[in-house]
Structure 1
Amino acid sequence: MKDSIIILSGGMDSTTLLYDYQERIALAISFDYGSNHNAKEIPFAKYHCEQLGIKHLVIPLKFMGEYFRSSLLSGDEAIPEGHYASENMKSTVVPFRNGIMLAVATGMAESNDLQYVMMANHGGDHTIYPDCRPEFVDAFDKTAQAGTFNGVRLLSPYCNMTKGQIAARGKELGIDYSKTWSCYRGGDKHCGKCGTCVERKEALADAGIDDPTEYED
């Protein structure tokens, strides 16, 4: 039964979730919020939806790029190098990004008579992203239920999984990760050095997947 809407970036995690729960997903939404890598991610999101015959919408949130402070919105040179666990990676946080996107997705779910909103946050996000943590997921789930006539729920199946475990699930599903984007710099190739590139490399290695990504280095 098609009862869900998914927030789909075009990255590894949300693409895996798309394939994993394709039988339940009626609508996929990508948000263009002015990040360095939106233009690289969104075409992949569209591609995978086309492969699965799932309706895909792109919703503009350009005000975030104009008014919010984050290195993710400030050009590729502002993106720090290093692992997600590093203190300098906090500069990539876009304040309350998931909260804003989930609010829109919840309204879309109610408008389309859908019961669930899905997002692909995972355990590795918890270190620096407050709106990826389990307590946020639980709180937003309650908020969505209370604020909609049909009691929309938030589903976060990967919340306590590692990115490596998600990649392993993608391997089982036969996902081509060369058709996903991770790099925060959004260049012609993955930089190989920013937090998301480092995490991507580690996850693919953990899952025993030959890395199909073309890196600058």
Structure 2
Amino acid sequence: MKSTKKVVVLLSAGLDSTVNAYEAIKHQHEVVLALTFNYGQRAAKKEIEHAAKIAAHLGVPHKVVELPWFKDFNKSSLLVESQTVPTGSAVEIDSLEKSEETARSVWVPNRNGIFLNIAAAYAEAAGAEVVIPGFNAEEAATFPDNSKEFLDRATQALWYSTSNHVTVGCFTVHLKKPDIVRLGQGLKVPWELIWPCYFAGEKWCGECESCLRSKRAFESAKVDVSSLFKG
């Protein structure tokens, strides 16, 4: 992505979306809006709270989009309280087979497709050219809606559905989590502001798949955030 574009950032306050927001500022893009979605996910309260802090730190407008009808899908352990989010020994981030299994548990129907389309509508209305999600190569192995292929196909679709031909761009789509942490270190991201956890506890649980991937990434990059994890 070239510099000085108007962009809309999808900001969940997770590792990937936060680093993308900071990278957008570094590239001198004008972030006209940071969008956080409340779709009934377990961590919604924390994601909204931390995304607001990140947006304030960056000095960009922040909006929470309420999507209560996601509950109607009645699918995903992130949304349905009676389902169990895989944690601890149920998660094996180095096993593709096990990761595919846990991915099915937390999969939310068409989540990123819906998010990108909503963000593109806000972008078009604001005269912005690009929407920036937080995708990464590591999770693309089990979540195809994190992949470069999905990003490119979404851009193709938006060419038809937005009058100004909004595109989808992502600074981390080719990176794995440790490299994203290293990128964030260079951007001086205040890690205490992010929320990578599937739950809404006082600290990051350290047991869900998102936490375990984040923990490994920080350790690999030799960045000590141990105080942010529970226990």
TM-score bracket, shorter-length normalisation: over 0.9
Structure 2 partner of 1:200: 214
1:57 and 2:71 are equivalent in the alignment: no
Measured in 1, the distance between the counterparts of 2:225 and 2:83 equals 25
Q: 2:147 aligns with which of 128, 133, 141?
A: 133
Which secondary structure does the structure 1 equivalent of 2:78 belong to?
helix
Q: What SS class does the counterpart of residue 228 from structure 2 fall into?
A: coil
Helix, strand or coil at the partner of 1:158: coil
TM-score (norm 1): 0.94
Q: Which amino acid aligns with 1:83?
A: E
Partner Cα distance (2:192, 2:70) in 1: 28
- How many percent of aligned residue pairs carry the same amino acid? 30
Deviation at 1:98, TM superposition (A): 0.3
- Whole-Å separation in 2 of the counterparts to 1:112 and 1:44: 24
Q: CA deviation at 1:136?
A: 1.2
For residues 58-73 of structure 1, the aligned pairs below 5 Å read 58-73=64-79
Match of 1:17 in 2: 20
Structure 2: any 5+ residue segments left out of the alignment?
Answer: none
> 1:137, CA displacement in angstroms?
1.1
Q: CA deviation at 1:215?
A: 2.7
TM-fit CA distance, 1:115: 0.6
In the aligned structure 2, how far is the partner of 1:7 from the partner of 1:194?
22
Q: Do residues 83 (structure 1) and 92 (structure 2) align?
A: yes
Whole-angstrom CA distance in 2 between matches of 1:213 and 1:164 = 18
Question: For the Cα contact (< 8 Å) 1:93–1:128, is it kept in 2?
Answer: no
What is the CA RMSD across the aligned residues, in angstroms? 1.6
Match of 2:125 among 111, 120, 131: 111
Gapped regions of structure 1 (runs ≥ 5): none
1:177 CA drift (Å): 0.9
Q: Which one is further off, 83-92 or 129-138?
A: 83-92
Q: How far, CA to CA, are the matches of 1:77 and 1:153 in structure 2?
A: 36
CA contact (8 A) 1:183 1:190 kept: yes
Runs (4 or more) in structure 1 with deviation over 3 Å come to none
Please give the alpha-carbon distance, in whole angstroms, between the structure 1 residues aligned to 2:227 and 2:135.
21
Give the residue type in structure 2 aligned to 1:100.
Answer: I
- Where 2:151 maps in the other structure, the secondary structure is helix
TM-score (norm 2): 0.88
1:31·1:58 contact (CA, 8 Å) conserved in 2? yes
**Does the Cα contact within 8 Å between 1:68 and 1:95 map onto a contact in 2?**
no
CA–CA separation in structure 1 for the residues paired with 2:75 and 2:149: 24
2:199 and 2:40 map into 1 onto residues whose CA distance is: 12
The within-5 A match list for 1:83-102 is: 83-84=92-93, 85=96, 86=98, 87-90=100-103, 91-102=105-116
